[in-house]
Each structure stands twice: as C-alpha cells, then as structure tokens.
C-alpha cells in the first residue's frame, strides 16, 4: 500500500485558496524615462456591458453569497477580524439564517458573505518597491522594481456559481 495515497495531506474538495494564484506584477520601470502620463488617473470599469440587462446581471452576481475563510497571519498580535466596506456599507455576514451588517469579517473561521466583499479582499494587495542602478560605460540607468502580493489571503470554501473561481483568479492576477 502507498502511504501517501491513503493519508493525503490536503482534503479533496472544492476549496480554492487564493494564495495558489500568482498575483499580477507590474514591470520594472526605467526611472530616467518615466512619464507620469503613462498611467491613467482613473480606472474605468470594464466588462459590465452596454445594456441594462448586462448591468443588472453583473450587480446580481456581486450580491451572491460566497463562503470563505481568511487565513490567519503569522505576525505578532495579528487582528482577528478584517474591516471590509463597499460604497460605505460594512461587510455583511450570513448568520442564523439572516444577513447582518458588521463592517468586518472574522479571520480563521468560515464565514458566508457577499461576493462584493470577497472582491475587496482579493483586490487588497501590498507592493514593495526597490531601486537598482545599472551602470554603463558612459551613463547610469535607475530602475524601480515592484513586487506585489495578496494582503489578505483566503480560501473559498463554497461558491455555487460556476464562474466564481475564474472571476476571482482574474481579479487576483490583475496588476
């Protein structure tokens, strides 16, 4: 008998861990050639569609319930809840058969919330910036190297929408 087959490390199932998805990275920038006009000041919403029906479908999609578990942090005195807000409304949790507005989501335990709050967690990223100098015979070039990562890694325990995993992966991979 194969010991590893009979005693798997991970339980089989539909759990989707966001830390398994590569976070989108921005390219290094040559600071000597940097122009502030390269990046837009306002990011426009894409993919919502032109018709009222597509817009309403997108809104309904974002209101769907998703069960997640936010991973515990290894830092000292890490918070046991994460504040989460969308358009001034605090995160909603499905508790005892009804939706409750709390403004926070617990860490380390399964919680059912709406997809729009899951999106906030998925888009929360940190970015570290380091600089490097490349010396040439006649000049130097300065570069800014950026590395991004997910600020609040979490696992999706239940998402009844078949498009959910693809949608979430796309958000995490965005720069």
pTM over 0.85: no
Question: Is 129 in contact with 82 (CB distance < 8 Å)?
Answer: no
Question: How far is it, in rounded angstroms, from Cα 50 to Cα 53?
Answer: 9
Residue 131's φ and ψ, nearest 5 degrees, are -115, 155
pLDDT score, position 23? 67
**Strands (DSSP E) found in 71-170:** 81-83, 85-86, 89-90, 92-95, 98-101, 104-106, 110-114, 125-135, 140-150, 154-158
* Whether the predicted pLDDT of 89 surpasses 90: yes
pLDDT score, position 11? 42
Question: Residue range 51-70: average pLDDT?
Answer: 90
Task: Render pLDDT for 111-158 as a digit per residue (tens, 0 to 9).
Answer: 999 999 999 999 888 888 888 888 888 888 888 888 877 888 899 999
* 61 confidence band (pLDDT: 50, 70, 90): very high
Task: Render pLDDT for 4-50 as a digit per residue (tens, 0 to 9).
Answer: 444 434 444 567 676 666 666 666 666 666 555 555 444 445 555 56
Beta-bridge partner residues of 142: 133
Question: How far is it, in rounded angstroms, from Cα 147 to Cα 9?
Answer: 30
């Amino acid at each position: 008998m194969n010991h590893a087959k009979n005693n798997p490390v991970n339980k089989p199932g539909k759990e989707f861990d966001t830390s398994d998805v590569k976070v989108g990275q921005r390219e290094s920038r040559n600071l000597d050639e940097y122009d502030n006009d390269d990046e837009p000041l306002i990011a426009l919403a894409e993919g919502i569609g032109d018709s009222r029906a597509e817009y309403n479908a997108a809104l309904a999609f974002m209101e769907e319930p998703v069960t997640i578990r936010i991973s515990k942090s290894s830092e000292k005195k890490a918070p046991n809840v994460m504040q989460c807000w969308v358009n001034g409304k605090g995160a909603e949790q499905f508790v005892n058969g009804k939706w409750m507005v709390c403004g926070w989501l617990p860490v380390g335990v399964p919680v059912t919330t709406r997809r729009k709050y899951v999106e906030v967690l998925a888009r929360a990223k940190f970015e570290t910036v380091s600089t490097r100098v490349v010396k040439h015979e006649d000049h130097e070039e300065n570069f800014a190297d950026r590395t991004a990562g997910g600020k609040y890694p979490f696992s999706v325990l239940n998402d009844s929408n078949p498009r959910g995993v693809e949608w979430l992966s796309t958000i995490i991979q965005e720069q």
